Amino acid sequence: MSSTDRYDVLIAGAGMAGATFALAAAQGGLRVVLVDPQPFDAQLAPTFDGRSTAIAFSTFRMFDALGVGEGLRPHACRMDHILVTDGRRPGAASRAPSSAFLRFDADEIAERTGGEPLGYMVENRRIRSALAEAVTAAGIEVLAPASVVSVETGPARARVTLKDGRVIEPTLVVGAEGRGSTVRSAARIDTVGWDYGQSGVVATVAMGKDHGNVAHEYFLPDGPFAILPLTEQRASLVWTETTRRGEALRTASDAAFHAHLMRRFGEYLDDVTVVGPRFVYPLSLQLAEQLVAPRTALIGDAAHAVHPVAGQGLNMGLKDAAALSEVLIEALRLGEDIGSEIVLDRYARWRRFDNVALTAGFDGFVRLFSNDLPPVRLARDLGIAAVNRIPALRRAFMHEAGGATGDLPKLLRGETV
């Protein structure tokens, strides 16, 4: 089959970053098409990836501006408190913070955030479902299952060939298909990064007692362990194991998995039951050396894939989507070529520093906490105690985690473009 279709933007990848960008771009008058190798319905299944995501309050403003927030809100659990402690000290289950214990409370920044929580925990399938409904309602074309096999760029348009032989000629191609981005490879954009030799183990549990909208981050020598509140008195557990242990957990029986969970974290997980499937993901860092190329732009994990320690990967990707859509919509209104180098460079300059700085910061954070050397442990405990005692520092960390700092795109301020 061979035909030629023209759009303003072809988006490779209909996941959360790609679908959000499609909604934002379409809202601004751009004709877009989403292409994804997975059937659209498959992304809505509870077994698709099992993960939940910490949505920054600024990102939720974006969902509201795109008409997605209302459908998400019943499934979003507020995080009003975050408790952080170092691995060998009691703390995350304690009522009072110790000197090496860090506590963040939404009330401290309520005047500036309008009473927003520090963030919201939402299951990925709920986000995908709300986005899918909005994409369908907006009349955005979705080609799925379909996959990009080649991208050629010319002076006025790109030429994208799909696996079924169909040819599409958009003004711009956006790579939003994750770490193994075909669009990024076609644009000859290299990446830098490394494996951590770790795996992220993810499970959802039913809690025996109310979690109180509190998120716990508990650091161990092998990596962090997080208890993140969900609706219906459930929690998402995310912990880091060595690759060897992660692979063992992937194939372990349900009984063995539960026994391991209780042995490691029983003091924090009194009376819990694992519900639904469990998942194990290898952890690595990957950063694209460029965000743009001729008639090409990258967003989300195609541009930067980070360690999940701070739960900021999706928020970074959605900030990319907000920034790129704003740049393109403004260019469209000015009558500019949205795929031109001068337009795409505005997006790259806007997002490059933030992406590199956050990626490097998360990597340093992982390395600081994923070891048990006494001098390092002492230094980080002193750092935790210092931040805990200085309100201005705590508030700065909370605003950064909420995505409310820096040159924010309009959508992250809750405004339409």
pLDDT digit string, tens, across residues 202-256: 889 999 888 999 998 887 777 778 889 999 999 999 888 888 988 898 889 989 9
**Rounded average pLDDT over 394-400:** 57
**Rounded average pLDDT over 386-414:** 67
pLDDT at residue number 160: 97
pLDDT at residue number 91: 40
Q: Buried b / exposed e across 22-42, counting CB within 10 Å, b at 16+?
A: bbbbbbbebebbbbbbeebee
pLDDT at residue number 386: 58
Can you give the C-alpha Rg of the chain in angstroms?
22
pLDDT at residue number 229: 94
User: Which neighbouring-strand residues pair with 104?
Assistant: 82
Decide: helix, strand or coil at residue 160.
strand
**Rounded average pLDDT over 271-294:** 90
Decide: helix, strand or coil at residue 405.
coil
Q: How many CB atoms lie within 10 A of CB 156?
A: 11
pLDDT at residue number 89: 42
DSSP per-residue codes, 56-105:
EHHHHHHHHHTT-HHHHGGGPEEE-EEEEEETTSS-TT-SS--TTEEEEE
Pick the range with the lowest mean pLDDT from 5-9, 145-149, 310-314, 395-399. Answer: 395-399
Instruction: Sheet with 141-143: list strands edge to edge.
Output: 141-143, 32-35, 9-12, 172-175, 296-298, 292-293
Say which DSSP state 114 is in. Answer: T
pLDDT at residue number 316: 92
More confident residue, 302 or 393: 302
Handedness of CA 173, 69, 128, 286 (dihedral sign): positive
More confident residue, 368 or 224: 224
pLDDT at residue number 296: 98
Predicted confidence (pLDDT) per residue in 296-335, tens digit: 999 999 999 887 765 678 999 999 999 999 999 999 999 9
Which pTM value belongs to this model?
A: 0.88
pLDDT at residue number 133: 92
User: Which neighbouring-strand residues pair with 284?
Assistant: 195
**Rounded average pLDDT over 162-179:** 96
Where residue 16 falls among pLDDT bands split at 50, 70, 90? very high
Where residue 269 falls among pLDDT bands split at 50, 70, 90? confident
Report the chain's mean pLDDT, rounded to a whole number: 85
The residues, ordered by sequence, that sit 6+ positions from 91 with a Cβ below 8 Å of its Cβ are 83, 85, 97, 98, 100, 101, 218
Where residue 49 falls among pLDDT bands split at 50, 70, 90? confident
pLDDT at residue number 2: 46
pLDDT at residue number 365: 63
Strands 52-56 and 214-220: unpaired
User: Which neighbouring-strand residues pair with 5?
Assistant: 168
pLDDT at residue number 375: 64
More confident residue, 44 or 148: 148
Pick the range with the lowest mean pLDDT from 85-94, 99-108, 196-205, 383-392. Answer: 85-94
Residue 68 has pLDDT above 90, yes or no: yes
Residue 267 has pLDDT above 80, yes or no: no
- Between CA 73 and CA 187, with CA 36 as vertex, the angle to 5 degrees is 115
Residue 172 has pLDDT above 60, yes or no: yes
pLDDT at residue number 228: 92
Residue 96 has pLDDT above 80, yes or no: no
Residue 147 has pLDDT above 70, yes or no: yes
Strands 148-153 and 158-162: antiparallel
More confident residue, 380 or 143: 143
Residue 363 has pLDDT above 50, yes or no: yes
